[in-house]
Amino acid sequence: MSNHLALIRALADLQGNPEQYNAACEHGHCVVLAGPGSGKTKTLTTAMARTLIEDVIDPRGVACITYNNECAIELEMRLAKLGIKSSDRSFIGTVHSFALTQVIGPYARCIVGLLPDDFRVATRSESRDAIEIAYEKVFNDAGNPHDRWRFAEEKRRRDVDRNLPSWRGSNHELADFIEAYEDELRHSGLIDFDDMPLIAFRMIKDHPWIRNALRARFPVLFVDEYQDLGQALHELVLLLCFEGGLRLFAVGDADQSIYGFTGANPELLQRLTKRDDVRTIRLRFNYRSGGKIIRASLGALGEERDYRGVEGASEGELTFWPVEGGHELQAQHIAKTVLPALLSRGLRSEQIAILYRAAWLGDKVVDSLERSNITYIRTDSNALVKRSSRLARFIEACAGWVTGGWQVADPPYERLVGQAIGLVYGGRVTEFEEQALSQQLMAFLRGSIDSSETTHVWLQRFQQELITPWQSISRNAHQEWEVCLEMIKRTDPRDNNDMLLTILSGRIDGTGRVTLSTLHSAKGREFDAVILFGINSDDIPNWRDKKSPLALREARRLFYVGVTRPRKELCLVYQKNHHSPWIAELYQRSQQP
């Protein structure tokens, strides 16, 4: 099917929702405010496909900035279904990846003295060393440099434009600390993660020709989950789109802004909607959840919104599970009572998620599930596969290919090659480079088919035959090559953590796995049923949330994100007589007609 025909069908599919259709067809600056389940990703990918096919002439293309790599992979997969394959015409990735591969990488060497040609991204230990050296130079006291750095980090992310008086005026000691730290990195030919958008901002601001070069290549800039991306991205958007001439298409929802600890600020999205040169479109229909869950979600949020379900859709179910005891007993109750109840009603394990506030709570759920012989897949920070890492997702995809995916092109080999190119080169490659990379990859994959290797042994070979040679030729300065080593360590058979390769790939016949995730990691995902675990008076909100109105508001938004994940059923598990105060509001709203 040609991409033109796929686009016609995609646009026709949106015509039943005027807001989605109008957004996909917009030709000016546009902000789409998209609530949970409102078809945000569908609207965004259709708009990107339409722009690439109708508005932007090859070889020009579009750039799309996402919150994390998992979002980028999801967009690439959806665009592929519309006939739009990853290519030099389009960039899809995080703001850090955009800054590094589209601004710093191509243009930094044109600016004398900015960065050495062979700069690289600092490791965690190198950053810690630089912090300690900088602290001694600036403060030279007995304090903890890393405690002070947390405040410096916040300032660094917030005060992007250092030409403004606020840079030194608000706290000159922190400014000195940051500058000393960056000087220490540069002395060693290093930049760090937060450097990327900051350096890119200064390059674009001080050198209008870079702005022009970016506009020539990417006349349209798409931004997904705008509310999560912080001050640096906002300043880049103002420079590129409202001074530099790129057209902006941004999608977001201030009610789902839950990453304040990384510098996210929902007010930045709201500022865009107030501009006279930006069209704001609100997506009102929730295609995901039943009416009762939608009403309950507004009780969880604590504010009114004009969201509505689709006519004829199921109301959905809410169930409340008070437990006489703390986290351990609540986790046991999930394994012994709540999950069996859901399964008895015909829900499938792979469409059930257990969500919780922090990864240490996930450990308690794991203990209970394993005692009940319930299989699971974990996606929090204690998981084997880091979902936000492109390398980890690539390793997982390769495992899926060699454990049967090669027979049905799931995933397609071409996609694996494209991912490998992105990992190693971060962008354009010669035909020779692509062929060499493909030959290495295919040799490894063929050697893995029908192998009896465990995950640990297979990962060791992956590290030796692919990662090691790829590191030596990599042009991608920002690549988490150590991820494979971490996975090897986590599957060490001496700790009884090794597993069949089919477990890593998720290809265990007949055994669906329950998903375990933090509320933060579950954002953007959906399931038939969701179990919210640990909704206790001291957990949601906790004592940190109560320290400020802003923190309390973000905690409420986090609860809202969890409540809006299910399609059919929401189960709340909590300690009896010690439940979160927000549960009562949720219940009251769910009972309204």
CA dihedral 522, 525, 531, 533 (to 10 degrees): 10
> What is the rounded CA–CA span in Å between residue 44 and residue 84?
13
Enumerate the β-bridge partners of residue 529.
352, 569
> What is the rounded CA–CA span in Å between residue 42 and residue 74?
11
CA angle 31, 273, 242 (to 5 degrees): 75
Q: Is cis: bond before 411, omega within 30 of 0?
A: yes
DSSP state letters, 227-278:
GGSHHHHHHHHIIIIIIS--EEEEEE-GGG---GGGT--HHHHHHHHT-TT-
End-to-end CA distance of the chain: 45
Q: Is cis: bond before 549, omega within 30 of 0?
A: no
Find out whether 37 is annotated in a ligand binding site: yes
Find out whether 34 is annotated in a ligand binding site: yes
Among candidate residues 575, 579, 583, 542, the one with its CA nearest the CA of residue 333: 575
Find out whether 81 is annotated in a ligand binding site: no
> What is the rounded CA–CA span in Å between residue 517 and residue 354?
6
Find out whether 404 is annotated in a ligand binding site: no
Among candidate residues 259, 231, 252, the one with its CA nearest the CA of residue 166: 231
Find out whether 145 is annotated in a ligand binding site: no
Find out whether 36 is annotated in a ligand binding site: yes
Find out whether 312 is annotated in a ligand binding site: no
Find out whether 41 is annotated in a ligand binding site: yes
Annotated binding site for ATP: 34-41
Annotated binding site: 34-41
